[in-house]
Amino acid sequence: MRISRISAQKSTTEEGKIDLSILDPLIQKYKNKKGNMIPLLQGTQETFGYIPTNAFLKISSETGLNLSEMYGVATFYAQFRLTPVGKYVIKVCHGTACHVQNAKAVTEMIKEALKIGDGETTTDRLFTLESVACLGCCSLAPVMMIKGEAYGKLDGTKAVKIIKNIRIQESQSS
């Protein structure tokens, strides 16, 4: 999972449009504080949904943090993303309890339905599919989480139905 995240293609055209000045308060807050690297990266990801290349450069030049160390940290932890994500991130739990209750089938069915692989985003930027380790709702296994809401006791068909409903809601509201 990690390697694909590092080497994934980034669309540089889109990054040009990002307004990085909204990071200023965050940088001011953590500048010169010890142990500030992870909170800075977490704050950036919260703002943009991922960490744009330009944000790395900006944080580095304004705080003096070493660029290579920042990249090292960002690629070490599973939380950080270097590519943009869809509006809805589908986190399918693959903890032990979910695994023995056939979480694999849930992921497979979603992959088929959305025509994307694990860690990828649909072309309309609506969904990103992620496999995650344990969401801590083991008693409801298998579980997936979309926008902080957990859906339990799934099978592939149920999961796909939930996603289809979101897509319908989206097309109606737009």
Rg (CA), the chain: 18
> What is the secondary structure of 116-167 as a DSSP string?
--TT-B-TTS-EEEEEES--S-GGG-S-EEETTEEE-S--HHHHHHHHHHHH
CB of 139 to other proteins, least distance (A): 3
CB of 12 to other proteins, least distance (A): 25
Taking the C-alpha atoms of residue 174 and residue 162, their distance in angstroms, rounded to an integer, is: 19
Report the 10 Å Cβ neighbour count for 80: 19
Nearer to other proteins, 86 or 142 (CB): 142
Side-chain-facing half-sphere of 156: CA atoms under 13 Å: 12
Looking only at the bridges linking them, the beta strands covering 127-132 and 88-93 are parallel
CB of 53 to other proteins, least distance (A): 19
Structural contact between residues 110 and 159, judged by C-beta atoms closer than 8 angstroms: yes
Nearer to other proteins, 14 or 112 (CB): 112
CB of 16 to other proteins, least distance (A): 27
CB of 172 to other proteins, least distance (A): 22
Which residue ranges make up the site for other proteins (CB under 8 A)? 1-2, 34-39, 41-42, 69, 72-73, 76-80, 94-97, 99-102, 104-105, 108-109, 112-113, 132-141, 143, 148-152, 155-157
Nearer to other proteins, 17 or 115 (CB): 115
Nearer to other proteins, 7 or 13 (CB): 7
Nearer to other proteins, 26 or 132 (CB): 132
Taking the C-alpha atoms of residue 42 and residue 39, their distance in angstroms, rounded to an integer, is: 5
